[in-house]
Structure 1
Amino acid sequence: MGGEPQVDFIIAGVQKGGTTALFDYLRDEPGVALPRVKEVHFFDDEGQDWSRPDYAAYHANWEAPPDGRPRGEATPIYVYWPNSLERIRAYNPAMKLILLLRDPVQRAWSHWRMEYARGAETEPFAWCIREGRRRLLDAEPWGHHREFSYVERGFYGEQVERLFELFPRDQALILKAEDLRGDPGPALAQVRAFVGAPPGPAPAAREVHVGREMDYPSRLTRDDVALLRRLYERDMARLRDLTGIGFD
């Protein structure tokens, strides 16, 4: 339903990794076409009939018909959510996928702060990354959760390995979040070239979607960091073997 693929690239991850900033920079690019909202949440929609997906509803997120410019969107849960990448491949096997990876410990901490600030989380961070992980065993789909996946979303090696099983490696651009901060010009030049947009000037660096300032009941402790580093150690080795990217 909905005709031929119209979307050429997706910023598919990771949450709290700079995807909002990249989307904001791309909004200033006349050479790309973006949807009205940043996160379309089509390929992670479990209410969709995936035997006959309504691609017309997906395409309706773009205001104008295709005009030759590369079309893209940014929904960073896709690389984490089960079956999302498979659904993307079924829609467009030539899809180009962009990942922005952030130190997984800092990502988890930032994720918890976001969920606590908006009221979805009420428990302290230390509990959430220890006993709180059991909440995902009662989730649907099993083992995945949109809000409480502070630790699980940081297993980048596992997610990238799955991505490479589904798409050729030259259809993936993997950057570190810090590549976009401070001096975004080189990273944006890579993104433009990757998606097929014309070259453009380097923008001035700007902070986008900075976390809310408030009194949090937790702080990131040395014990928390040490625990997370141990949990991620094997997966980080896998990521380094796959991409050459590491977080020390």
Structure 2
Amino acid sequence: MVEDRVAFIVAGVQKGGTTALFDYLGEAPELSLSQVKELHFFDDEAQDWSRPDYAAYHGNFEPFDGRLRGEATPIYLYWPGSLERIATYNPAIKLIVMLRDPVDRAWSHWKMEYARGAETRPFAWCVREGRQRLFAAAPWGFHREFSYVERGFYGEQMARLYGLFPRDQVLVLRAEDLRREPAPTLSQVRGFLGLPDAPAPTAREVHVGRDMDYGSDLAGADVDHLRGVYARDLGRLADLTGVRFG
């Protein structure tokens, strides 16, 4: 039945505060969140998308009891086909997008991959020559681990999203705002989901990067390089959403 469909998804972005948001929303009794944070259903290329197994997807939630179901898989904004599959699944779904300065996001993403051993090359190489690795990936031009730069083209991604969903079904937030002062941001989310306001939560840090030797710090030359790479796209993002970085 349509009523048991997932009502909202936190669809982006990786390293953009989505874990913290999911943690905060887990305290809302009006919501039924997925049993784990990232379900990776709509980016699953092994799924038969001519006949997707929505029953398996719904198996990640408690039995439907009338509460709004929601999940958070931040690759959906970036991964090709994911938003289109979500639109087919539930055209009325609400999408929350958490954005973070794309340079900071890229650095945090690289540190995560380096810390877990998926990445062995320095950040400076990865955001320059290393981008060529994506052209040997499948789908062509996309990569789950090495997409440090590509995931930060928010303007392009939001344009695609707005081409699939009405703007009143999309809420765009800044990770910095949730981190600094969570109460106003969470009030926005509750209003967006049609929930009454709630007491201000206790601020918390979630998924802090591992304390280790990364071989270098974020260099000014790398920041300047990425600012140049992102300049045009960030202008597009500002035009589309009013959100500005840099």
Range into which the TM-score falls when normalised by the shorter chain: over 0.9
Compare 107-116 and 188-197 and name the one that shifted more: 188-197
Q: Which residue of 1 aligns with 2:61?
A: 62
Q: Which residue of 2 aligns with 1:145?
A: 143
CA root-mean-square deviation? 0.8
Percent of aligned positions with the same letter in both sequences? 71
Q: Which residue of 2 aligns with 1:89?
A: 87
Kindly provide the CA deviation profile for residues 1-46 of structure 1, in whole angstroms up to 9, marking residues without a partner as x: xx53510000000000000000000111111110110000000000
Output the CA distance in 1 between the equivalents of 2:228 and 2:181: 31
Q: Which residue of 2 aligns with 1:101?
A: 99
Task: Tell me the amino acid that sits aligned with residue 8 of structure 1.
Answer: A
- In structure 1, runs of 5+ residues without a counterpart are none
The answer to whether the 8 A contact 1:70-1:196 is kept is no
Q: What TM-score does the superposition give when structure 2 sets the normalisation length?
A: 0.98
Task: Tell me the amino acid that sits aligned with residue 20 of structure 2.
Answer: A
Task: Tell me the amino acid that sits aligned with residue 171 of structure 1.
Answer: Q
Task: Tell me the amino acid that sits aligned with residue 46 of structure 1.
Answer: E
Compare 196-205 and 175-184 and name the one that shifted more: 196-205
1:198 aligned counterpart, secondary structure:
coil
Output the CA distance in 2 between the equivalents of 1:77 and 1:218: 27
- 1:157 Cα shift? 0.2
The answer to whether the 8 A contact 1:44-1:77 is kept is yes
Kindly provide the CA deviation profile for residues 126-162 of structure 1, in whole angstroms up to 9, marking residues without a partner as x: 0000110000000000000000000000000000000
- 1:243 Cα shift? 0.6
Kindly provide the CA deviation profile for residues 171-228 of structure 1, in whole angstroms up to 9, marking residues without a partner as x: 0000011110121001001111111233211101110111111010232111100000
Q: Which residue of 1 aligns with 2:12?
A: 13
Q: Which residue of 1 aligns with 2:193?
A: 195
The answer to whether the 8 A contact 1:69-1:197 is kept is no
Task: Tell me the amino acid that sits aligned with residue 241 of structure 2.
Answer: T
Output the CA distance in 1 between the equivalents of 2:30 and 2:196: 6
Compare 195-204 and 68-77 and name the one that shifted more: 195-204
Task: Tell me the amino acid that sits aligned with residue 90 of structure 2.
Answer: N
Output the CA distance in 2 between the equivalents of 1:67 and 1:237: 43
Q: Tell whether 2:110 aligns with 1:120.
A: no
Q: Which residue of 2 aligns with 1:75?
A: 73
- In structure 2, runs of 5+ residues without a counterpart are none
